[in-house]
A and B are shown apart, each in its own frame.
Chain A
Amino acid sequence: MSSPRYVVGIDLGTTNCALASLDLATETARVEVDDIAQLVNVGELAARPLLPSFLYLPDDKDFPPGSTRLPWNTDDSAVIGELARRRGAERPGRLVASAKSWLCHSGVDRTAPILPWGSSEDGLRVSPLDASARYLEHMARAWEQQHSGERLCDQDVLVTVPASFDEAARELTLRATAQAGMPSVRLLEEPQAAFYAWLDLAGERWRDRVKVGDLVLVCDVGGGTTDFSLIAVTESEAALALARVAVGDHILLGGDNMDLALARLVQQRLEQAGHKVDAMQLQALWLQCGAAKERLFEEPSLDRQPVTLLGRGSRLVGGTIKGEVLREDLNRVIVEGFFPRVPADAEPARQRRVGLQELGLPYAADPAITRHLARFLMRQASDAPGLDAIRRGHGGLAAPTHVLFNGGVMKAPALRDRVLETLNDWLAAQGCPAIAGDGVLDAPDLDRAVARGAAFYGRARRRNGIRIRGGSPRTYYIGIESAMPAVPGLDAPMKALCVVPFGMEEGTEATIPGREFGLVVGEPAEFRFLSSTVRKHDAVGTLIEDWGDDLLEQEPLEVMLEGQGTAVDQVVPVRLEAKVTEVGTLELWCVSRDGCQRWKLELNIRERDR
């Protein structure tokens, strides 16, 4: 590959995608956010700052023939972006939404055509993987239209993923980029990307804002997901260095939930007043409540914001219903409902286990983002190896000194204040100094900071600029059954062998010492695979037995030994090797004793038995 002209950051979001690029040919070039061409109406192409992550699968009843073609594509089997979102509200059975949340949902086969989920319409279906690939492909073509003569696959492309994405979801994201014609991209965690956007903005002055021992909480609340990370300021060769020391679990909770909660409230009120609100009007109400929420948050002097549902027939004036969102609603539903001022030891409510649960996205059972944050900060009990201890209160709370907000929701000053107040309550209770006003690191353009930051990071990587040390975001284990007599009805107790330690750096390898496995040639072998975001001290080869709920089971790993000159059925002793790739994924290999034969373990991302 010839050396790329641009670095391009792609934010492949749950509800919106964004694109930013940086021209490498100019030394002093700044990150440019690229607007994305998309169908905004039937027959109308326009560039918009964000590409809504919606895929609509039309049939011949939807649009006049030829009216949804794109300049780069004669295939009109799917519509992506604003028109998809709008038309999908009218015909939800053909709309694919939140593909990214499905991509990290291990309860379903993410490579099978299962979306639109639960649709009763027959017709085309796509897999979460395909949908993601289509968004990427769309962005690639749109970008190429703006940068004539360049192909996106020839650039240095960074795709961002939530820090909480597990290995399977990262792997699937990479597969989606390959399917979109970009076989060599790198992954970057979104909270880190947001931090890079701040670094880009602050320039060299960033060194004046933080000092060694500081701890930055990145609080990223987007449309569909909430993602936390901790970044520690350390010292390396007498200069400030940065290390990502903790990532949170995946929480399906975001701005869309908030807007819907408001819409439900307004709907209830309208229905009490004798109006009827149908499903399609609820959709309109949802959008309007989102806009009303933003307006009220922006303008603290307003005490109410009207929402109107125009009559659906041509009787416009006669059929119009008026509702309103009051500031009090905002305080009660959004601020107190999603950001309650809870103590630091508050635990989020657990998922209810109902006997028969409709299989769908595993939305967070507790809407309180502050409770999820408390749990995240309380669970960082062990420090990452190779680093100074992170700051901690006397009750064990990881104690940030700075906060960096990201995501559309965090644009609201009232919500930022609430998060800060709550954090300061916790810090005070734990004997730590409060985060002052200058402890809030301001990233610009919260909707697109991630794409910007990714492009900035791409250049920093190429030019040995400042980088956040990250490495593996989790500790990974392989399940080993104990050699104990089997008991009917009980699984043999399992031990977990650490194969990848937390923070294992990109581009490094490790051999798992002291253990050999016998694999049968010609037969598939399966390994149980587990991960932890909180156990950070386990070194490669550590065997653990009792882990409470620190470990999470992942998709199993599979390997099939093809006999190369070896008889089928023969048992081959192998050892395990782990590698964290430059791209940002991990690989596990079985290696024969003589080291001559290697087989890669593959994640089985097909449906898992529940």
Chain B
Amino acid sequence: MGFAARFSAALRSFFALLFSGRMPDDVLDRFRPAQAAAPAPGAPPPAAPPTDEGDRAVQLLAILQRDGRLVDFLQEDIAAYADAQVGIAVRDVHANCRAALARYLTLEPVCTAAEGTGVAIDAATDPARVKLVGAVSAAARQGIVQHRGWQVARIALPPLPRLEDRRIVAPAEIEVA
């Protein structure tokens, strides 16, 4: 499985868990813990994978936390705060996370037409790239763009940290007086 696909799965899992509380089905299927066929007798045990599937996801979280405090924000119970207080913090979190994202990856719309404009659809329209909604019939040839979608055009994450540090999203901070 290529990096882009892993990345997409990781990112989708992250946001799906965050907003709907469940993992996407295809991710669950793909990454179901191995009910693996027993290794053929005599075959060498498979070498430990150099990077675990989750490492890059944790790394991206760590970057968004380091630069933009995203995890602190998401993990905090903000119900009690007034909108104004949330707003103050969010501006900073937003600006810094946005800058961090821009540094390590380039996001661009899947569909280049502007939202609200009409586009042609045909049999070759790929459901992974374009989700058709409404009165979708086999004869439909045209639709209105509601959301342009997002895709990652470039990704350049820094090297992973040491193996034993790859589950650390943010180190604890202790001040010595």
A306 within 8 A of B: yes
Cβ A316 vs Cβ B88 within 8 A? no
Inter-subunit contact A64/B162 (CB<8 Å): yes
Chain A stretch 53-108: residues in CB contact (< 8 A) with chain B:
64-67
B99–chain A nearest beta-carbon distance, Å: 12
- A64, B89: Cα distance in complex, Å: 30
| Min distance, Cβ B71 to any Cβ of chain A, angstroms | 8
The distance from the CB of A64 to the nearest CB of chain B, in whole angstroms, is 6
* Interface segment out of the listed B14-22, B73-81, B118-126: B73-81
Does B137 count as interface, using CB distance less than 8 angstroms? no
A308 with B88, Cβ < 8 A, contacts A316-B73, A316-B93 known: yes
Q: Which residues of A contact B81 (CB under 8 A)?
A: 317-318
Q: For A318, what are the chain B residues with a Cβ–Cβ distance below 8 Å?
A: 76, 81, 85
B73 to A64, Cβ gap below 8 A? no
The CA of A318 and the CA of B73, in the complex, are separated in Å by 10
Closest to B175 in A: A280
Q: Is the CB of B91 within 8 A of A306?
A: yes
B76 close to A315 (CB less than 8 A): yes
With an 8 A cutoff between CB atoms, is B159 at the interface? yes
Which of B72, B86, B88, B175 contacts A314, CB < 8 Å? B72
Contact of A43 among B75, B90, B158 (CB under 8 A): B158
A310 with B92: in contact, given A316-B72, A316-B76 (CB under 8 Å)? yes
Please determine whether A310 and B89 come into contact, CB atoms closer than 8 angstroms: yes
How many angstroms from the CA of A310 to the CA of B69 in the assembled complex? Answer: 9
Majority secondary structure of chain B interface residues (helix, strand, loop or mixed): helix
Q: A306-B91, A315-B76 are in contact. Are A43 and B85 (CB under 8 A)?
A: no
Write the A10-49 contact mask toward B (1 if CB under 8 angstroms, else 0): 0000000000000000000000000000000111110000
A318 to B158, CA, bound (A): 32
Within 8 Å of chain A (Cβ to Cβ): is B109? no
Tell me, yes or no, whether B29 is within 8 Å of chain A by CB. Answer: no
B92 adjacent to A308 (CB under 8 Å): yes
Find the residue from B66, B73, B76, B159 having the highest chain A CB count within 10 A.
Answer: B76
Whether the pair B75, A320 counts as a contact (CB closer than 8 A) is no
B residues less than 8 Å from A43 (CB atoms): 158-159, 161
A308 and chain B: residue at smallest CB distance? B92
In contact, A317 and B159 (Cβ under 8 angstroms)? no
B85 is contacted by which of A41, A64, A317 (Cβ under 8 Å)? A317
Contact B75 A317 (CB under 8 A): no
Say whether B91 contacts A308, CB under 8 Å. yes
Q: Are A67 and B161 in contact (CB under 8 A)?
A: yes
Minimum Cβ distance to chain A for residue B70 (Å): 9
B165 within 8 Å of A by Cβ? yes
Complex interface: chain B residues within 8 A of A316 (CB): 69, 72-73, 76, 89, 93
Is A593 interfacial (CB-CB < 8 Å)?
no
Residue of A nearest to B74 (CB): A316
CB pair A64 B161 closer than 8 Å: yes
| Distance in angstroms between the alpha carbons of A602 and B90 in the assembled complex | 60
A-B contact pairs, 18 of them (CB 8 A): A41-B66, A44-B159, A45-B158, A64-B162, A67-B161, A67-B162, A308-B91, A310-B89, A312-B173, A314-B75, A316-B93, A317-B73, A317-B81, A318-B81, A318-B85, A320-B85, A320-B92, A322-B88
With A317-B86, A317-B90 already in contact, 5 other A-B pairs whose C-beta atoms are closer than 8 Å: A44-B159, A308-B89, A312-B173, A314-B75, A315-B76
| Chain A to chain B: the 5 pairs with minimum beta-carbon distance, closest first | A44-B158, A316-B72, A320-B89, A317-B89, A322-B88
